Structure 1
Amino acid sequence: MFSAEFNSIDQAIAFEKQVKGWSRKKKEAIINDNWDLLPELSRSKSFAK
């Protein structure tokens, strides 16, 4: 489970839409408070080696 506070409902909705498009691993990273992993998990598979 994850929760965050936003200054407006528009910010909250925008963040929710963004997260819905993320991979399961990225979602698990924010649930586990591992925000620093997001850039690595965002890289294209063609760049991973």
Structure 2
Amino acid sequence: MTIALDHHQPGQHIYLCGPPAMLTSARPRLLALGVSAARIHLPAERPVEA
């Protein structure tokens, strides 16, 4: 995520994917850095296939 933030430009959207622990910690970090919540996109929850 640090690399993405190094290249982030105001007004860009951020799409995240990865392990659940990373996704959980990424959103608050991005918000704290001033990224608008409307521009942060997380994967939709998928049902676990049996």
Please confirm whether the aligned pair reaches a TM-score higher than 0.5, indicating the same fold.
Answer: no
TM-score, with length taken from structure 2: 0.33
Structure (1/2) with the larger helix percentage: 1
TM-score, with length taken from structure 1: 0.34
Structure (1/2) with the larger strand percentage: 2
